[in-house]
Structure 1
């Protein structure tokens, strides 16, 4: 999930959040957005390098909800409509636009939302089988997913609780849906769909080789972060603590060779050549629109309709008068998902 606002505004965000290769297709880029301008502009930036965009309406994290991203959009179907239509109007008809949602506690509200999205013209929908208030360890509502699949005409991708190939096969065969999405399961085990129960050694070695071949394209944060997930079921608690504090490519590779790959010679060597990275060039006419934000409405000055911002105001009164103060309300425990008005 890439934050559309940051992606449009910051070159470092674009470099760290998005890269692709010449053979990386089909590719759908998932954005979190809370206004049409950001979503359309971010979609336009990746349009030359991807096959579609997906709007995340399923992230339940507190920071996302607080800022109007992810699951917060489920209570604003009219805004989702505008976001989708904005991209549909501005980009080619063969550019895919999809939406990922979570089920709502009232199944009829979930189905109504799916019908509304279907009428927006989205190409497919991904439905996570938990409500926004459920934890990742809770079971998914298979019956709700089943009714969603039977109620819409567009392709439905089912999501949630996929930790193995058997989980994926079982859910797919139960729902007769159009596809299965795995998220955390694939982070922990990129070879999940091969049937492997945990990350194979050759997968770890392959990630190291890909980094060595493309060290100018893969940041240390990306390299280390993926390994944290991949090694979760392999390392001891003490080893995890040590690994978490490694801060260089060299120290990570030394750790892997000492503790993980010390018997790697007995493991068949993987053969995989990553295709050439695409040199992405993002349109200045879009990125420059987002170079400055209005302090009143937090939108790009280009799109600001807020008359409260005065770039010449230097006496500090602006901040006393207009900056919104957010409390520490825990949105996950509040009544934000009172669906009576849906």
Structure 2
């Protein structure tokens, strides 16, 4: 099925990201952009378990625009993969606009990465380095908003906070005035990794803006989701690592991934995932609370699809009668945009 067919068959039934984020009766539940891991099989899985909006991994705009090979390597979708926001790493308005024009017919919004702290990202002129260029980012947002985009198509950004919160608020107001539809705020600075997210900062940003705000950072379970919402008043919560460890997090108080969720992932992966390393990494994350240390060591050392499925089948009684899918050949080539 082509991307245009996906769009025609599903677009009229899809609730837009902005409609979800402005619904006063819900906390929007969002799967974060994760390099290599928030791809189609995982997005379909979390949608089955309560996720309202899912992001693609960050896609570097320049090769995506120039190369069909890069587009095929970096992006795939299906009719059930909605609403979908595609995140780009872009260094200027032309790049961001061209990438948006290519993708607009098969997703519900684009997002500009203004928060990734990795050095290689900053060297390319996007990610967290853009936090120092509010007018430049505002121009990028304005350029995309001027495009003839589908109705209710959204343009958003994802940021980290600065040590001086006033500068973060000024940045957010600049892009708000440029027409950005909503902002996802990772509540850590670029130098922080495992520190608790600064919920007070997120709450202050939310109070300072008219547009919806999404909180990101540090949530591991449903209790955390409700605490973050209560303390910040945000319109939605965005989770990365917590969903990798338990893709059913949004609908389950249990912190262990349910067996049926693992089986569902295997079914989605059999259809859409050819890279064994990605498949294996997801299952290592989902199964880490299932296994004691000796079991983890064995499971994590497996090297092909059939051995992973066989291990689950023979070592966990809950899977003894399960019909696991058949997997094709593995391909672990690096993507064109890595």
TM-score in terms of structure 2 length: 0.72
1:163: which partner in 2?
Answer: 220
1:226: which partner in 2?
Answer: 282
2:115: which partner in 1?
Answer: 58
1:243, distance to aligned residue in structure 2 (A) = 3.8
Q: Trace 1:307-322 onto structure 2 (pairs within 5 A).
A: none
Q: Give distance in 2, aligned partners of 1:255 and 1:44.
A: 45
1:156, distance to aligned residue in structure 2 (A) = 0.7
- 1:16, 1:219 within 8 Å by CA — same for their partners in 2? no
1:120, distance to aligned residue in structure 2 (A) = 0.9
Residue by residue, what CA displacement relative to the aligned partner does 1:273-324 show, whole Å, maximum 9, x if unpaired?
Answer: xxxxxxxxxxxxxxxxxx9xxxxxxxxxxxxxxxxxxxxxxxxxxxxxxxxx
Change in 2 beyond 3 A, CA 1:29/1:163: same
- 1:35, 1:83 within 8 Å by CA — same for their partners in 2? yes
Question: Highest CA radius of gyration, 1 or 2?
Answer: 1
1:66, distance to aligned residue in structure 2 (A) = 3.0
SS at match of 2:146: helix
Residue by residue, what CA displacement relative to the aligned partner does 1:188-211 show, whole Å, maximum 9, x if unpaired?
Answer: 210111123121111111111223
1:24 to 44, 61, 81: 81
Residue by residue, what CA displacement relative to the aligned partner does 1:160-212 show, whole Å, maximum 9, x if unpaired?
Answer: 11111100111111212111111111112101111231211111111112233
Change in 2 beyond 3 A, CA 1:244/1:43: farther
- 2:158, 2:183 within 8 Å by CA — same for their partners in 1? yes
SS at match of 1:28: strand
Change in 2 beyond 3 A, CA 1:163/1:111: same
Matched, 1:147 2:204: yes
Change in 2 beyond 3 A, CA 1:75/1:232: farther
Residue by residue, what CA displacement relative to the aligned partner does 1:12-67 show, whole Å, maximum 9, x if unpaired?
Answer: 44334322221322211111111223222222221111010011111122322333
TM-score in terms of structure 1 length: 0.71
Matched, 1:42 2:83: no
1:258: which partner in 2?
Answer: 314
Q: Give distance in 1, aligned partners of 2:125 and 2:114.
A: 10
Q: Which runs of 4+ in 1 moved over 6 A?
A: none
1:238, distance to aligned residue in structure 2 (A) = 4.3
2:303: which partner in 1?
Answer: 247
1:245, distance to aligned residue in structure 2 (A) = 4.3
Q: CA RMSD in A?
A: 2.4
Q: Give distance in 2, aligned partners of 1:262 and 1:36.
A: 54
1:273: which partner in 2?
Answer: none
Matched, 1:182 2:242: no
Q: Give distance in 1, aligned partners of 2:70 and 2:187.
A: 30
Q: Give distance in 1, aligned partners of 2:178 and 2:106.
A: 24
1:102: which partner in 2?
Answer: 160
Q: Give distance in 2, aligned partners of 1:127 and 1:91.
A: 27
Matched, 1:204 2:259: no
Count of residues in Structure 1 that have an aligned counterpart in Structure 2: 266
Unaligned runs of 5+ in 2: 1-57, 325-335
Q: Give distance in 2, aligned partners of 1:190 and 1:32.
A: 25
Matched, 1:112 2:170: yes
Change in 2 beyond 3 A, CA 1:219/1:21: same
Change in 2 beyond 3 A, CA 1:221/1:40: farther
Unaligned runs of 5+ in 1: 271-290, 292-342
Change in 2 beyond 3 A, CA 1:230/1:62: farther
Change in 2 beyond 3 A, CA 1:257/1:16: farther
